Amino acid sequence: MLIDRGWSERDARDLVAMTTSLVRGFAIRAMIRPDRGETDRLMKRWADMVDQTFVSGT
């Protein structure tokens, strides 16, 4: 889907790998110390970083 939208294969693979790791980390953190506010804040920051790095930066 990302490649169909013009992303390079490398950027698409990197983003999927990083996103998978991020989601796994949040799942583990939720079991240890749930904090929905922090999770929401970090997800927003991740989305902003993706936009700046991959979308705006290409």
Q: 3-state SS of the chain? A: CCHHHCCCHHHHHHHHHHHHHHHHHHHHHHHHCCCHHHHHHHHHHHHHHHHHHHHCCC
pLDDT for 56 equals 62
CA angle centred on 29, ends 53 and 25, rounded to 5° = 40
Contact 39, 26 (CB under 8 A): yes
pLDDT band at 2 (very low <50, low <70, confident <90, very high): confident
**How do residues 9-43 score in pLDDT, each as one tens digit?**
999 999 999 999 999 999 999 999 999 999 999 99
Distance CA 44, CA 33 (A): 19
pTM for the model stands at 0.72
